[in-house]
């Protein structure tokens, strides 16, 4: 037996190297000897098992991975898209138009008109930069803004007309 650390020859039954004192139990002879004896069967068993399971796993994984990959690929792509559709943070005009349009339902003309204008700008941004999204938000802003603007103008006109007609 030779020391694995310093290479000095040692008696086979020795547990420590006579030259450097390294432990010989873990020494190479133990490894190679059993490996050559029981090694081949053991690796042979695991090897076929591994090779058998290896093809099976890739085979199963391949369709499995391919199937999820196809839906999975759109999914990661869809996930950001959904977020961007819900909140088109890249299209500030559309987003602000949306918010102003919604708030204009409560506040009327002051926000409805800006919502309309910003919605149009948002649509332009969405048209020039489709990746910015926000078309839906822009349209919501435009619709709500125009509705509230029209309603407010109608109300104002009605009030003005009423007050004028009263005279």
Residue numbers of the site for Zn ion (CB under 5 A)?
3, 5-6, 8, 17, 19-20, 22
Q: Are 6 and 20 in contact (CB under 8 A)?
A: yes
Cβ-based nearer residue to Zn ion, 22 or 87: 22
Beta-carbon contacts of 133 under 8 Å, excluding residues fewer than 6 positions away, are 81, 84, 85, 88, 90, 91, 94, 126
| Main-chain dihedrals φ then ψ at residue 24, nearest 5 degrees | -100, -10
Least Å distance, CB 24 to Zn ion, is 8
Least Å distance, CB 29 to Zn ion, is 13
Cβ-based nearer residue to Zn ion, 27 or 115: 27
Cβ-based nearer residue to Zn ion, 17 or 142: 17
Least Å distance, CB 73 to Zn ion, is 57
Least Å distance, CB 3 to Zn ion, is 3
Q: Are 19 and 8 in contact (CB under 8 A)?
A: yes
Q: Are 10 and 24 in contact (CB under 8 A)?
A: yes
Q: Are 4 and 27 in contact (CB under 8 A)?
A: yes
Fill in the DSSP letter of residue 24: -
Least Å distance, CB 1 to Zn ion, is 10
Cβ-based nearer residue to Zn ion, 6 or 62: 6
Cβ-based nearer residue to Zn ion, 9 or 58: 9
Distance of alpha carbon 9 from the chain centroid: 60
């Amino acid at each position: 037996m030779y020391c694995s650390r310093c290479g000095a020859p040692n008696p086979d039954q020795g547990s420590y190297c006579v030259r450097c004192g390294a432990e010989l139990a873990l020494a190479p002879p133990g490894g190679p000897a059993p490996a050559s004896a029981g090694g081949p069967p053991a690796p042979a068993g695991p090897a076929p098992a591994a090779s058998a399971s290896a093809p099976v796993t890739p085979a199963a994984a391949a369709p499995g991975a391919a199937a999820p990959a196809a839906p999975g690929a759109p999914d990661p792509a869809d996930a950001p898209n959904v977020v961007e559709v819900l909140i088109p943070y890249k299209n500030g005009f559309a987003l602000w138009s949306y918010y102003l349009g919604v708030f204009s339902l409560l506040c009327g003309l002051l926000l409805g008109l800006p919502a309309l204008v910003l919605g149009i700008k948002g649509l332009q941004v969405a048209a020039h930069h489709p990746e910015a999204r926000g078309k839906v938000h822009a349209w919501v802003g435009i619709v709500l803004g125009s509705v509230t603007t029209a309603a407010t103008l109608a109300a104002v006109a009605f009030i003005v007309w009423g007050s004028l007609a009263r005279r």
